[in-house]
Chain A
Amino acid sequence: MIEKFIKIVSSAVPLPIENVDTDQIIPARFLKAVERKGFGDNLFRDWRYRKDGTPNPDFVLNNPKYSGTILVAGKNFGSGSSREHAAWSVYDYGFRVVVSSFFADIFKGNVLNNGLLPIQVTEEFLFEMFDTIEKDPTAAFEVDLEKQAIRNINKSTELQFDINPYKKECLLKGYDDIDYLLSLKNEITAFENSRV
């Protein structure tokens, strides 16, 4: 079971960098845990901390101006490795929505499996979001999964986003894929028998 996702109204954290790959989201040296928890501490590790381990004040997550459960990132977010740790670290940190104008495939699949909603928006909408946040870091955005809409409240602009209907249903109800696959055991066995 995953956490149900229905509607979120929150301020957002801007990360206007393109092609953020999974090695940036969580460097490989932090993949050594054998549990799913605690990855949020190392989210964006090498940007977030200086070499001596102290927080880098220039990085957005260390700037107290910004907060919220929505991460807004530049184009092609999540490229690179298939490590699901990237999705866990974004979720574990406290984000529930990631907005970008483009997502890498595997990353998108991984976040959806973990109750995190990836919203692909137009470049125009993305830039407007960055602009809104820059002018007012407390600016709120509304994400309504049922309506498949994201709203920039300050600007009164709204955008419909796409999501696979099956994934939408899972997120809304808090189901996961394994519950569904287990219901198909007989079909799977029949499929195996039909091939020999």
Chain B
Amino acid sequence: MEPTTLFDKIWDAHVVNKIEGGPSVLYIDRHFIHEVTSPVAFSGLEGRGLPLFRPQNTVATPDHNVPTIEQHLPIREELSRKQVETLTANCERHKIPMYGLSHKWHGIVHIIGPELGITQPGMTIVCGDSHTSTHGAFGAIAFGIGTSEVEMVFASQCILQPKPKKMRINVEGKLAQNVTSKDIALYVISKISTSGGTGHFVEFAGSAIRDLSMEARMTLCNMSIECGARGGMIAPDETTFAYLKGREEAPKGAAWDKKLAEWKKLKTDDDAVFDTEYTFDAVDITPMITYGTNPGMGVGVEGSIPTGDELAGSDKATFLKSLEYMGFHPGEKLKGKKIDYVFIGSCTNGRIEDFRLFADYIKGKKKASWVTAWIVPGSKQVEQQIREEGLVEIMESAGFALRQPGCSACLAMNDDKIPEGKYAVSTSNRNFEGRQGPGARTLLASPLMAAAAAVNGVISDPRD
């Protein structure tokens, strides 16, 4: 048999039909939905007079729009409230399990899927949110879809997809202390650019990747789409199985043993060929921070903003426009620059390990007086764990307050908006113009970098 990749194995096992010269009909095992990209799909479905084909394969949570304080009160902002109410009504009508704001398992869609064991190796998973790639950390094919595609999955549990090309990104060796998987992500994107992965699905491999915890793998796969890829994945291994075992929706007893045997076969064959392959050395990666308006514009914290001298024409104009938005100059050092806001959270870095890292750093220190910090857990379970582990006390004595779960300042659809012109060190995934509020200036980094910035009030190296 011809050697195949992990991606091929899962993809091929889900093809119901292939259109000659066209896309494949791909069966979807899990469909996550939230309040922003689902309402139009529901009304489309109902407009056609169709039922939801497989409601039991669908899971809903409101996350994008929700406030991160006083969640027990009705949502004040009218349009947000309407979207959440619409989701609730749609889920009731179509019998879709929903983890609403008051549910003990509420949280950001890409946090709760893995946390509840809904996300499993070998699955196909979609959601109307591009960071669905997070679930690829379990050795699943997971990717973001548009609302028309949400409607397709509602109607048929399938979508039409052309098979992407395959890319492997190897990271070999040992990561230095205080270097996280967020730094790997920002490093890789800075090397291959925000369009380097376009048309591809990425498999992350190599010893540095195998050494990552499950949560760190999720951070990396989450960011895979920022290099333009459809998604990223990591072959499941003992770390994956240990994480999954015993979770609410994970298989139990004999069913677990059977699944485990299947999951163990999910890996790329030795001689399988990728369309594109990159290899990086873990020792070259240092704590990263972005200085521009796309996630590829990142450097090591000790580095400087590029001069842009080698750029010409429209590339140069785009580069300068980006720096102008950020209020930075070519060639400047980033370390020591004053910042105004810090955001810890999102489906990129809103898990317990992220808050542990943060708490560990700030322990016994104090938040800089001029910094506003939003500490937003990714889910209720993460919030509870933060409390149980005593991290809240550490945060509070350092001058930080814990908020309630949601997407928050990651896309600033709720009230958590960074004011115009202010600098925010953010653990989220996108630093586009206006992403965190009109005129907001975002610097993407790891929770550790964010902790150091919050304490010192300036961009700092957590290793100092």
Contacts and interface: CB of A to CB of B under 8 A. Distances in A.
Interface of A: 16-19, 21, 23-24, 27-29, 31-36, 46, 51, 74-76, 79-85, 87, 102, 104-106, 109-110, 113-114, 164-167, 176-178, 180-182, 184-185, 187-188, 191-192
A113 to B, nearest CB: 4
Interface centre among A109, A114, A166, A192 (most CB of B within 10 A): A109
A17 B433 CA distance: 14
Contacts of A46: 433-434, 438
A177 B86 contact: no
A82 B129 contact: yes
Contact of A84 (B48, B147, B156, B159): B147
14 contacts: A29-B413, A31-B413, A32-B65, A32-B80, A79-B228, A80-B430, A82-B146, A102-B195, A102-B198, A181-B156, A181-B158, A182-B155, A184-B16, A188-B27
Nearest to A83: B37
A27 B434 contact: yes
A80 to B, nearest CB: 6
A84 B37 contact: yes
B413 A187 contact: no
B79 A24 contact: no
Interface centre among B16, B25, B146 (most CB of A within 10 A): B146
Contacts of B413: 28-29, 31-32
B200 to A, nearest CB: 9
Nearest to A107: B146
Contacts of A21: 294, 432
A164 B152 contact: no
A32 B434 CA distance: 16
B294 A109 contact: no
B19 interface: yes
Contacts of A17: 318, 321
Q: Which 5 A-B pairs have the closest CB atoms?
A: A166-B22, A84-B146, A32-B79, A34-B39, A82-B144
B157 interface: yes
A110 B122 CA distance: 26
Given A82-B129, A178-B151, A191-B27, A28 B411 contact: yes
B199 A166 contact: no
Q: Contact residue range for chain B?
A: 35 or more
B135 to A, nearest CB: 14
A30 B146 CA distance: 16
Interface in B405-453: 411-413, 430, 432-435, 438
Contacts of B155: 178, 181-182
Contacts of A106: 130, 144-146, 230
B40 A35 contact: yes
Contacts of A185: 156
A105 B433 contact: no
A113 B158 CA distance: 15
A19 B318 contact: yes
Interface string B40-73: 1001100010100100000000001100000000
Interface centre among B149, B294, B315 (most CB of A within 10 A): B149
A34 B27 CA distance: 27
B16 A166 contact: no
B456 interface: no
A178 B156 contact: yes
Contacts of B230: 105-106
Contacts of B82: 32, 34
Contact of B315 (A18, A79, A81): A18
Interface string B90-106: 00000000000000000
B43 A34 contact: yes
Interface string B131-157: 000000000000011111101100111
A74 B294 CA distance: 16
Contact of A113 (B148, B157, B315): B148
B116 interface: no
B21 A181 contact: no
Contacts of B246: none
A21 B195 CA distance: 12
B208 interface: no
Contacts of B36: 31-32, 83
Interface string B2-39: 00000000000000110101110101000000001101
Contacts of A80: 130, 430, 432
A82 B128 contact: yes
Contacts of A84: 37, 40, 128, 146-148
Contacts of A165: 21-22
A178 B157 CA distance: 11
Contacts of A87: 146
B433 A182 contact: no
Interface in B140-194: 144-149, 151-152, 155-160, 162, 164, 194
